[in-house]
A = this chain, B = another copy of it.
Amino acid sequence: MKISQKDLGIKIGIDPSSASGRMNHYETGRHMPDLDTLKKLAKELDVPVNYFFCETEENATLACLIDKLDDETKRKLIQLLENKTEF
């Protein structure tokens, strides 16, 4: 993914004059985006919204992989995880 903070901000509809500053505040955690902005960012980056709130690299990677599965496969994975914790 090669896109600047500013360009990403502009892509989701932030005014170009404030895009860099606002996106920087989001990235550093100074401000949290509202839910509508989070949804736009997620769509633009092709990640689920919950990705932004994953606290480890592994959880974030898994959130993206899981979001791409169909519901039936998700349900099978739930059963797998409920029955054992090793692979």
Chain A positions within 8 Å of B, measured between CB atoms, are: 29, 32, 34-35, 38, 48-56, 58-59, 61-63, 65-71, 73-78, 80-82, 85-87
Q: How far is the CB of A72 from chain B (nearest CB, A)?
A: 9
Indicate how many identical chains form the complex: 2
CA distance A82 to B54 in the complex (A): 19
Whether the Cβ atoms of A85 and B73 lie closer than 8 Å is yes
A66 near B59 with CB under 8 A, answer: yes
Q: Identify A53's interface contact among B50, B61, B87, CB under 8 A.
A: B50
**Also in contact, A32 and B35, with CB within 8 A (given A74-B58, A74-B62):** yes
Query: Knowing A50-B54, A87-B73 touch, does A78 contact B59 (C-beta < 8 A)?
Result: no
